[in-house]
Amino acid sequence: MEPLVDILIEDQRWQDILPALAERAVAAVLADQGLSPETFEVSLMGCDDARIQVLNAEFRAKDKATNVLSWPSQDLAAEDEGAAPEAPEPFLPDERESLGDIAISYDTCLREAEEQHKPMAEHVTHLLVHGTLHLLGYDHIREGDATLMESIEVRILDRMGISDPYEG
Give the residue numbers of the binding site. Answer: 130, 134, 140
Where are the strands (E) in 48-162, listed by range?
A: 68-72, 97-105
Q: What residues form the annotated binding site for Zn(2+)?
A: 130, 134, 140
Give the separation between CA 16 and CA 150, rounded to whole angstroms: 28
Residue 164: strand, helix, or coil: coil
Q: Are 89 and 76 in contact (CB under 8 A)?
A: no
Give 47's contacts (C-beta < 8 A, 6+ positions apart): 10, 11, 14, 103, 104, 105, 106
Packing angle between helix 18-32 and helix 120-135, nearest 10 degrees? 50
* Residue-level length of the chain: 168
